[in-house]
Amino acid sequence: MLRPTPGPVYYDGPEGEAFEREVAAYVGMGHGVAVSSGSAALLIALLALGIGSGDEVICPANAYIAVPESVIHTGAAPKYADVLEATANVDLTTIKPHLTARTKAIIVIHNYGHPVDMDPIQSLAKSRGIAIVEDAAHALGGSYKGRRLGSLSDISFASFARKCVSVAGQGGMSFTSNPEWATAMHQYRRHGWNPADAYRSTVGRIGYNFTLNESNAAVGRVSLRRLDAHNAARAANAAYYTGAIGARRLPLRPLDVMPWAKSGWLHYVVRAPRRDALVEALEREGIEASVHYRDPVYRLPVFLERTGEDPGPRPVTDQLARQIVSLPSHPDMGERDLDAVLDAIAAFYRG
């Protein structure tokens, strides 16, 4: 009897499933849901938590645009917590002023790979029945008091676009140990279909299409195997930069590293006098120095129009936005490359 030949599997296949299992196991969560970007991973996380119109979600004022954007797409309102000058991260003291009866979730970002001080935030969230969503886009492989980043919340997520794990394109994944939220996120990922229903005849909720391609998942699986080695190289680069900045008496101030922190070190960030001129001088030397983030997201006019409020200044975020720069610290860089960056910085400040 003639059987139809199965066509090639471009998505919803074994590579994607293996990638989900492997990254979730690495992070220390029961389930992974692979999607087409980190932004999509955050959106389905918020939807699975039931966040929507009338709710408030606290997020860092020093944030990548996807964070408040995802909150706004659910219909909820982002409330922006300022950050600490030492780490550029939120903590309990910066979050607390924004708590109201409408607060449904707190999104923490382990900015640049450095962990947020999670214990006090977890206690607060538990006592008030608020969900925590953890943005581990910069931080896979990092840990807080020995606990893996991405495992310290109700739902966490990662991005795989030019991050510590790469899928050679766009990709992301959400993680949870709650099977109901995992099923909900699977459904939101693909048109509300239940992953257990092979014929996809039932639509459990209104979803969308955020599927990750098999080819990207396959690349991601290889990249995951290199994560620890790459993170160790990035950590060594960071230590070298910090030592050399002190030894050469450069006027740069690296962000602090807390004693309980093991950073993922996606970005090596310093506070630099005359930052914009420095970035231009480095660019002229062919050295890429990016700024995460130059225009604080909480002041974006289109966001303010949509949420109908002017949140007022967030002074530390504003100050950091003028000062910080991420020096190149790719795992393939050796001490000679780092010295070339440091030489160019020294020449700029001498000049």
Ligand X SMILES: Cc1ncc(COP(=O)(O)O)c(C=O)c1O
Residues of this chain that bind ligand X (CB under 6 A)? 37-39, 64, 66-67, 109, 135, 137-138, 159, 161, 170, 172
Total Cβ atoms within 10 A of residue 305: 9
C-alpha–C-alpha distance, residues 300 and 302, integer Å: 6
Is 96 among the catalytic positions?
no
C-alpha–C-alpha distance, residues 169 and 189, integer Å: 18
- The nearer residue to ligand X, 82 or 135, going by C-beta atoms, is 135
- In angstroms, give the least distance from the CB of 174 to ligand X: 11
- The nearer residue to ligand X, 112 or 348, going by C-beta atoms, is 112
- In angstroms, give the least distance from the CB of 342 to ligand X: 25
- The nearer residue to ligand X, 265 or 348, going by C-beta atoms, is 265
CA 302 and chain centroid, separation = 22
- The nearer residue to ligand X, 152 or 245, going by C-beta atoms, is 152
- In angstroms, give the least distance from the CB of 40 to ligand X: 7
Question: Which is catalytic among the residues 79, 126, 145, 163?
Answer: 163
Specify whether the CB–CB gap between 110 and 83 falls below 8 A.
no
- In angstroms, give the least distance from the CB of 59 to ligand X: 10
The residues annotated with a catalytic role in the active site are 163
